Structure 1
């Protein structure tokens, strides 16, 4: 089959690789019909994530048609259309029993390596380094799905791929980010970033009762999307001082809830530290940037909550822990507990008419994927979200 493979920093290629095979009775094989390029895929592309090996198949936002089922699978049959969540979860360990699916104790075969870095291992993830299992990803013609009796969700008849493919990651991720804020009716919610996850965090904040949403970015197309589809007020951090602007708009109190939906590669306007980090990256020493997270902690009102769906791949320096502690803030993060959200959010699509496809700006073939990574990473051609059609 053809698959997009990682070969190093800024080097992804479409290679011919072996077709996946059933390896366990709980496996299924899916023929991929749509798969997204995620913002966190750019962390791989830009060399931020350890544990990558040349030839790794990447991608973690897939859906498609079931073409083969393991002997233990009764939930799916050949021909079913399914969305595959990016987390791989066994369904019966200590954490899965508590609906904390992204913390599964059983699905990462390289758990010891992850624990050395993080203290404990999270769940295995599709296409996201050998630290998190080394599982081949979904930017390919076919995908093996382990623990398939726990993971994927069947797509109801009549729904197009573009309506449901983001149940694989970014819609539930944005929703959990907003839910982690413990939004109370009428709260002001500030969202750092206006990329795809942030767009769904904005939508979800309204769903959960926010009275006001303020979105922060510097890319005009993303800010415009947050205004048009997200009904958010916006701040361009290259043109306005974010702290001063938020204080003015909230009578000096600050936003009640803050969502940092940027992660390791955030930017700061005119910041010397960013220039130093850029210099390090020029010699292939990529540093995780704390700019957005630090600003969210500084801006959040006392006693408020900061939610972090943005992906980080290493430790951070210059974190304002004094602000976090003295302001009595709650800080929450985590990979998304995907299986907890799939059915409720599918219902929002089917019953409430919510259409996640509004974030899509580009469709492309699998063979065009290397060029689309460049376009997405450089934010050319108004690119906000790419969906590949293998």
Structure 2
């Protein structure tokens, strides 16, 4: 089969690889019909290169048709249409019972000190083959896949794999209600969808970014916008718009790819050039991130407000403004999305004929799998109005 593979820093290729096979009785094999390119994939493109191995299959936003099921599978059958969550969770362990599917004890990577295994996301999270491929092995097939009906296009459902539950969790963790003001840092796919979810629930939403096309996109759906390159200070701008108080809650939907910290960027690149045996422990213990978006979040939130961190950070010793956070009595919630915890709540929104979250036209680019290398480069460079890419294998 053809699959998108990591071959080195900024070196993504589409290659022929062996087809996946049933390994455990509870496995299934799906033929991938649509699969997304995520901002988190860019972390593998460069910052997390020390944890990658040439030939790794990437991608973690797939959906498709069941082609084969293992002998232990009871609830899924050949021909079913499914979306596959990016975190691999069993549904039976203590953590899954707590709704913390991203911490699944069955697939936790204790050797790496990390949570549940993830599709296509380096040996830090299990080294599992990803979903930017023609076929995919799906574990825990009676629990993990989300069955969806025939009829609506793949674009309506594919975001259940990551974008929708990740954005939904960020809004739930932000805990906005009534007339609360929500500031969303970053208008990439997750920030954009988080803004849509919050506005659909009647909240006032301000979105900050520096890419004009992304700002225009969220503004067209009713969000207020701040171009961070056009104001002296985002926090001051937010306070000016909120009677001097600040946002009731802030979602940081940016993470380690933040714009505006050249020092951290140079450190990440320097570490990535080291041999993996040296770079891996450095990234785990002394790595730092670009923290422009996170620091702005703590500045712009009101006293007693909440910062919901959904952007992925990888630095182990990134400095935090603890004095400011303590003085302002900021509440912080964060973590990988617990996809299966939220998917049943989200599904009615996706099935609504009115498509209130605009999933049908959420993708800005629909490309064949063979164009993945160019798409990665353009997505990282924020070129060609590229916000969300989906591939058709």
Corresponding residue for 1:259?
251
Partners of 1:83 and 1:152 within 8 A in 2: yes
Partners of 2:47 and 2:268 within 8 A in 1: no
Distance 1:352 1:319 in 2: 44
The answer on 1:202 being equivalent to 2:195 is: yes
Partners of 1:8 and 1:47 within 8 A in 2: no
Name the SS of the counterpart of 2:111 in structure 1.
helix
Residue 114 of structure 1: which of 112, 115, 119 is its match? 112
TM-score, with normalisation over the residues of structure 1? 0.93
Shift of the 315–4 alpha-carbon distance from structure 1 to 2, 3 Å rule, reads same
Corresponding residue for 1:15?
15
Corresponding residue for 1:370?
373
Name the SS of the counterpart of 1:360 in structure 2.
coil
Corresponding residue for 1:320?
321
1:207 deviates by: 3.5
User: Residues 129-162 of structure 1: CA distance to partner in whole angstroms, max 9, x if unpaired?
Assistant: 1111111000001000011111111111211001
Matches within 5 A, 1:1-390: 1-48=1-48, 50-108=50-108, 111-115=109-113, 121-210=114-203, 212-229=204-221, 231-240=222-231, 241-268=233-260, 274-281=261-268, 283=270, 285=272, 287-351=288-352, 353-354=354-355, 355-390=358-393
User: Residues 177-213 of structure 1: CA distance to partner in whole angstroms, max 9, x if unpaired?
Assistant: 0000111211000000000000111012124442x10
Distance 1:340 1:278 in 2: 34
Name the SS of the counterpart of 1:280 in structure 2.
helix
Aligned length: 376
TM-score, with normalisation over the residues of structure 2? 0.92
Q: Which moved more, 1:10-19 or 1:46-55?
A: 46-55
1:287 deviates by: 4.6
Shift of the 357–315 alpha-carbon distance from structure 1 to 2, 3 Å rule, reads farther
Q: Which moved more, 1:135-144 or 1:285-294?
A: 285-294
Name the SS of the counterpart of 1:304 in structure 2.
strand
1:323 deviates by: 1.2
Q: Which moved more, 1:170-179 or 1:284-293?
A: 284-293
User: Residues 10-31 of structure 1: CA distance to partner in whole angstroms, max 9, x if unpaired?
Assistant: 0111111110000011110010
Which 5+ residue runs of structure 2 have no aligned equivalent?
273-286
Distance 1:351 1:177 in 2: 22
Name the SS of the counterpart of 2:73 in structure 1.
coil
Distance 1:380 1:293 in 2: 24
Partners of 2:9 and 2:49 within 8 A in 1: no
Name the SS of the counterpart of 1:370 in structure 2.
helix
Corresponding residue for 2:282?
none
